[in-house]
């Protein structure tokens, strides 16, 4: 797994949209799923309405538990069957429910496996998730992102480090793609960076697409799961800092999904829906 | 030290400006300074022009090192002599150079001692620093802060959790006081929260005062110290997100201090200067 991870990050640095990344993802996720199939599952108490969770346990007893895994979204078998196409962003053969499952299981595989195989490693699951999402989005738009952009503003000339940004070419939108396994209080950074892009390059120039895995949090003592959501704060950020165009989740929390239907209408959707609106997102147009 | 720390945080929760916090700070800082006097000092290689640093080592060899301490700003003897007045915010007997020293040594005492006495404890030094700065500012303004404010905005009614905010009363400014031992990439949050306050309550209603300890970073292998500063990014945040009114440092990095003299003129100052401008900061007035 460690070698496959190194190959993935090296390939992603070279050419994020490239075939070598697809191959490395297929290998790494395959290994993680194979390992997870040997693991036991501990049911968790769900305090999230309509969702149930388990945690993986290593094959040999060790007291370790993975992060919570959504029971209805995780399917190793289904994912193994479609993995080759999924890591290439080809979801056309799958209906919405299956898309959600294979995407979630693909993303969760390495994260849950790492929880069991390594000690306190929070960094590599985040990097893996960034490679996965970045790869799928880059393949979908047919262009690689940058992680810094030039600022020229009167007497100011500097480079602004950013999350992934995509230039889709003349007459098309530019894309700002922050990626987080979960958000918590750090999420205000996303709106703040979007605002800097709006300020430097003009309003409605960069479409901000935030992609998140989940907002679950496990209480170790009670083996219970909650979703940590701050929808009122998101409303204030969307009203007063900047406007994100989409927020995609691999496992959408209901509290955020419902923001799509009330002012200021933050469009929170399953990540599977991204693949149906690539062209809409790319096309420069006035906001609806 | 652990008991004195508990007493401080309990007192701070009750009445941040109160005498019990002064007493608890005096006790805790006194203990930390006494301990540090028994410690050895390892000189560090400074890669910061004009500053030299050392790290404390425990009395008995253990391989542990404290965070870097600025040689010219740390004086246990001077600080012990004036500690009773310093923790009460009474710096009138001291000239600017001595103020800077006693403030820095007071703040650094518990942080450096904790680096040696505890394992990987990043939380309590941050909380201690927040209590110290919050206490001195609350005493100076003669009012306790809140950490959440009510938002009423047409059909929106919610509570926004914030850093310390002070209501100085009718006809006077309100104060937004984020406090960080160091900033790094998280600092954009400060400008973002200031922008939400501007949006909800109106421009120039809350004066944003950011207070930081230092921006030093130590390379363990080479025992060398750098200051991690991103002045160009601060310029973009101040231009495009919101305007901070002051940034105070206990150990001001030259790269940030120089921002005060060029557009957009971010007013970075030593924290000692705060005590000379309390009335100016409190008085509602158009921005100069």
Find the CB nearest B241 among A196, A232, A236.
A196
Contacts of A82 (CB under 8 A, 6+ apart): A93, A94, A98, A102
pLDDT tens-digit map of B211-251: 999 999 999 999 999 999 999 999 999 999 999 999 999 99
Predicted confidence at residue B211, as pLDDT, reads 98
**What's residue A234's pLDDT?**
96
How confident is the model over B173-202, as a mean pLDDT?
A: 94
Start-end of H helices in chain A: 2-14, 19-37, 76-86, 96-117, 123-141, 188-201, 231-240, 254-257, 278-282
The model's pLDDT over A220-278, given as tens digits with 9 standing for 90+, comes to 999 999 999 999 999 999 999 999 999 999 999 999 999 999 999 999 999 999 999 99
Q: For residues B275, B279, B283 and B285, what is the CA-based torsion angle, rounded to 10 degrees?
A: -70
CA distance B73 to B104: 6
Q: Count CB atoms within 10 A of the CB of residue A197.
A: 25
Q: Which residues of chain A have pLDDT under 50?
A: none
Reported as a single tens digit per residue, the pLDDT across B16-53 is 999 999 999 999 999 999 999 999 999 999 999 999 99
Verify whether the Cβ–Cβ distance B195 to A156 is below 8 Å. no
Kindly tell me if the per-residue pLDDT of B185 is higher than 80: no
| pLDDT for position B154 | 80
Looking at the complex, does the CB of residue A99 fall below 8 Å from at least one CB of chain B?
A: no
**Within an 8 Å CB–CB cutoff, is residue A258 touching chain B?**
no
**Whether B273 contacts chain A with CB within 8 A:** no
Predicted local confidence at residue A40, as pLDDT: 96
Contact present, B145 and B117 (Cβ < 8 Å): no
Query: Strand, coil or helix: what is A123?
Result: helix
Residue A159 forms contact with B (CB below 8 Å): yes
Which of B157, B176, B240 is the best substitution to test chain A (most A C-beta atoms within 10 A)? B240
pLDDT, residue B251, reads 98
Measure CB to CB from residue B237 to each of A155, A196, A233 and give the nearest one. Answer: A196
Looking at residue A155, what is its pLDDT? Answer: 81
Distance from CA of B188 to the nearest CA of A (A): 6
What pLDDT score was predicted for residue B168?
A: 97
Does A191 contact B193 at a Cβ distance shorter than 8 Å?
Answer: no
Separation between Cα atoms, residue A160 and residue A148, nearest integer Å: 5
Of B99, B97, B95, B116, whose CA–CA distance to B107 is shortest? B99
- The whole-angstrom separation of Cα B250 and Cα A166 is 40
Chain-wide mean pLDDT for chain B?
95
Measured between beta carbons, the chain A residues lying within 8 angstroms of B198 are: 240
Peptide bond into A175 cis (omega under 30): no
Q: Which one-letter DSSP state was computed for residue B68? A: P
Q: Tell me the H-state helices in chain B.
A: 2-14, 19-37, 76-86, 96-117, 123-141, 188-201, 231-240, 254-257, 278-282
Per DSSP, the residues of B24-36 read HHHHHHHHHHHHH
Q: Sign of dihedral through CA atoms B17, B23, B24, B25?
A: positive
Q: What is the DSSP secondary structure assignment for residue B272, as one 8-state letter?
A: G
Residue B38 touches partner A, C-beta closer than 8 Å: no
Higher-pLDDT residue of A138, B62: A138
Q: Are strands B146-153 and B156-167 parallel, antiparallel or unpaired?
A: antiparallel
Gap from B189 CA to chain A (nearest CA, Å): 6
Give A187→chain B minimum CA distance, Å.
9
Tell whether B119 lies on the interface with A, counting CB pairs under 8 A. no
Kindly report the pTM of this predicted structure.
0.94
Q: From A197, A137, A186, select the one nearest A162 (Cα to Cα).
A: A197
Contact (CB, 8 A) for B245 and B231: no
B1 falls in which pLDDT band (50, 70, 90)? confident
In Å, how far is B69's CA from the nearest CA of chain A? 29
CB contact under 8 A, A192 and B189: yes
Kindly provide the ipTM of the predicted complex, given to two decimals. 0.91
Nearest Cα neighbor of A206 from A193, A217, A215 is: A193
**Measured torsion, CA atoms of residues B2, B4, B5, B7, in degrees rounded to the nearest 10:** 130
- The residues with which A283 forms a beta bridge, in sequence order, are A172
Distances (CA, A) of A250 to A234, B115, B249: 18, 39, 41
Q: How confident is the model at residue B66 (pLDDT cuts 50, 70, 90)?
A: very high
- Best of B122, B176, B196 to mutate (most A CBs within 10 Å, chain A): B196
**Do the Cβ atoms of A233 and B160 come within 8 Å?**
yes
> Please, what sign has the CA dihedral across residues B190, B196, B202, B206?
negative
Q: Is A38 on the interface with B (CB under 8 A)?
A: no
The fraction of chain B above a pLDDT of 90, given in percent, is 88
Please report the pLDDT score of residue B169 as a whole number.
95
Residue B288 has pLDDT above 80, yes or no: no
Show residues of chain B in contact with A161, CB under 8 Å.
233
Query: CA of A160, closest CA in chain B: separation in Å?
Result: 7
- Left if phi > 0, otherwise alpha if psi is -120 to 50, otherwise beta: which for B189? alpha
């Amino acid at each position: 797994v460690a070698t496959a991870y190194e190959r993935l990050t090296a390939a992603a640095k070279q050419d994020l949209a490239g075939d070598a990344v697809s191959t490395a993802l297929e290998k790494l996720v395959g290994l993680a799923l194979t390992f997870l199939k040997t693991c036991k599952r501990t049911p968790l108490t769900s305090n999230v309405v309509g969702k149930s969770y388990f945690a993986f346990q290593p094959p040999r007893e060790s007291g370790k538990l993975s992060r919570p895994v959504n029971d209805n979204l995780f399917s190793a078998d289904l994912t193994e069957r479609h993995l080759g196409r999924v890591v290439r962003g080809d979801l056309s053969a799958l209906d919405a429910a299956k898309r959600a499952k294979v995407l979630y299981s693909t993303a969760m595989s390495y994260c849950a496996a790492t929880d069991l195989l390594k000690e306190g490693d929070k960094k590599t699951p985040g990097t893996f998730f960034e490679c996965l999402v970045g790869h799928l989005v880059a393949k979908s738009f047919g262009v690689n992102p940058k992680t810094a952009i030039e600022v020229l503003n009167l007497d100011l000339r500097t480079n602004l480090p950013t999350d992934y940004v995509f230039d889709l070419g003349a007459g098309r939108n530019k894309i700002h793609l922050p990626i987080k396994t979960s958000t918590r209080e750090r999420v205000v950074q996303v709106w703040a960076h979007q605002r800097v892009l709006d300020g430097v390059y003009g309003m409605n120039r960069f479409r901000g697409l935030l992609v998140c895995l989940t907002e679950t949090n496990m209480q170790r003592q009670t083996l219970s799961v909650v979703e940590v959501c701050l929808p009122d704060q998101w409303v204030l950020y969307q009203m007063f800092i900047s406007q994100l165009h989409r927020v995609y989740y691999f496992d959408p929390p209901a509290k955020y999904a419902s923001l799509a239907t009330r002012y200021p209408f933050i469009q929170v959707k399953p990540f599977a829906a991204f693949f149906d609106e690539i062209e809409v997102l790319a096309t420069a147009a006035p906001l609806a």
